[in-house]
Amino acid sequence: MKTMEELGRRAKGAAAVLAAAGSREKDRGLLAIAAALRKHTPEILAANALDTARALEAGMSRALLDRLSLDEKRIQGIAAAVEEIVSLPDPVGRMDGGSVRPNGLSITRVRVPLGVVGIIYEARPNVTVDAAALCLKSGNACILRGGKEAIETNLALAGIMGRALTEAGLPGDAVQLVEDTSRESANRMMKANGLLDVLIPRGGGGLIQAVVEQSTVPVIQTGVGNCHVFVDSPCDLEMGVRIIENAKCSRPSVCNAAETLLVHREVAETFLPLAKAALDRHKVQLRGCPETRRILGESVLPASEEDYAAEFGDYILAVRVVDSLEEAIDHIRRYSTGHSEAIVTSDYGHSRLFTQQVDAAAVYVNASTRFTDGGEFGLGAEIGISTQKLHTRGPMGLGELTTIKYIVLGSGQIR
């Protein structure tokens, strides 16, 4: 098994080659990966069978098992996703500023790869390919550290990708897997300053929290979403019902799903029963403030302070009636994780105030929070959704996997 130093040294070498590679070469590497995944599907499925068998034996939950399991169709989907990345524009080399200074120095700000990107994730093997492909297209080498549950599958995938890259004339070390899935290997990645330029955790809140707290390598914090939908007065109540139903129920486990519904007192009496009828169809459990329970009845559980702070990730929704737009904004300011926040309103001034005063990666007027996504935002694929303010915020596409470099051309200038 390679040490972190060895992985880092190899990645740095590969990163230097990738940084200089043109889009055409990188795309050729991506197409080679997609073709190899399709060709070696039996090998991947055999490895995945080992993982799932062990997981079954260990009594893994059905939901987790579903994330871990691959079949032929899923592998086709993973390969197709790689091919889609080929069609995205290369962010490297884009010039996003510059000028000729009064002393004649010509300064250009060019986008360049970050270098070596570390990714720590859990049991989803599709992340192995997704992350590698996004890093490759943006000229970065990556060091991937997936969960122990998926180690056989990940070894197969990483091996296939590495060989495909070598055959396509690119460094196989551009994609490396950490074979040691112990906690210590994750800890070593978090302290690998000088080897890793950035570390991105992808997974549950516990993993992300641990990486944020322990890493000395710069981290992009992703994906914790306590999102709110505020149904204002006046508004189109039916639109409000459609939006909260979609925001809560279309995929409750994801970070852009709504966790709390705020309702203006003036419309609560009419709106809440309509919303409840729609949410009942999905068996959503409501946890409400006293006013919500007065309107909807005692079958609604009382909401605690923790409920308003929670990212349920499930068919559970906290509900609160507020007196005003300002109270809604205050509530959001207090409990929001800065991911996605929505207002449903027909008042122009309220829409302006809400978008100006709510501090989040994405602020919506009359649309579902579920749109916070690289694909939906037109960035193509995404490597995660940043909920911190440094570097970037919201969906991270290829552009967010680059940094800048100033190129300064002179004719002997001194200062």
Structure-token pair, residue 406: 């100033």
> To the nearest whole angstrom, how small is the minimum distance from the Cβ of residue 356 to a copy of itself?
6
> To the nearest whole angstrom, how small is the minimum distance from the Cβ of residue 75 to a copy of itself?
26
Backbone angles phi, psi at 391, to 5 degrees: 75, -65
> To the nearest whole angstrom, how small is the minimum distance from the Cβ of residue 355 to a copy of itself?
5
Residues at the interface with a copy of itself (CB under 8 A) = 16, 19-20, 99, 101, 105, 107, 112, 114-115, 193, 197-198, 212-213, 216, 218-221, 236, 239, 242-243, 245-247, 250, 333, 351, 355-357, 359-368, 370-372, 376-378, 388-394, 403-415
> To the nearest whole angstrom, how small is the minimum distance from the Cβ of residue 329 to a copy of itself?
9
DSSP string computed for 239-302: HHHHHHHHHHHS-TTSTTSEEEEEEEHHHHHHHHHHHHHHHHTTTPEEEE-HHHHHHH-TTSEE
Nearest Cα residue to 351 out of 361, 366, 330: 366
Residue 65 or 105 having the CB closest to a copy of itself: 105
Residue 126 or 355 having the CB closest to a copy of itself: 355
> To the nearest whole angstrom, how small is the minimum distance from the Cβ of residue 359 to a copy of itself?
7
Tell me the three state secondary structure of residue 14.
Answer: helix
> To the nearest whole angstrom, how small is the minimum distance from the Cβ of residue 197 to a copy of itself?
5
Note the residue count of the chain. 415
Residue 69 or 372 having the CB closest to a copy of itself: 372
Angle between helices 23-39 and 72-86 (to 10 degrees): 170
* Furthest-apart CA atoms within the chain: distance in Å: 80
Residue 37 or 363 having the CB closest to a copy of itself: 363
> Dihedral of CA 168/14/208/374: which sign?
negative
Residue 139 or 146 having the CB closest to a copy of itself: 139
Residue 55 or 383 having the CB closest to a copy of itself: 383
Structure-token pair, residue 293: 């329970």
> To the nearest whole angstrom, how small is the minimum distance from the Cβ of residue 145 to a copy of itself?
19
Q: Which residues on adjacent β-strands are paired with residue 316?
A: 285
Residue 297 or 410 having the CB closest to a copy of itself: 410
Report d(CA 31, CA 160) in Å as an integer: 13
CA angle, residues 358, 359, 363, in degrees to nearest 5: 65
Tell me the three state secondary structure of residue 165.
Answer: helix
Structure-token pair, residue 50: 């080992």
Residue 52 or 368 having the CB closest to a copy of itself: 368
> To the nearest whole angstrom, how small is the minimum distance from the Cβ of residue 235 to a copy of itself?
10
Residue 234: is the preceding peptide bond cis (ω within 30°)?
yes
> To the nearest whole angstrom, how small is the minimum distance from the Cβ of residue 150 to a copy of itself?
27
Report d(CA 141, CA 195) in Å as an integer: 11
Tell me the three state secondary structure of residue 6.
Answer: helix
Residue 15 or 123 having the CB closest to a copy of itself: 15
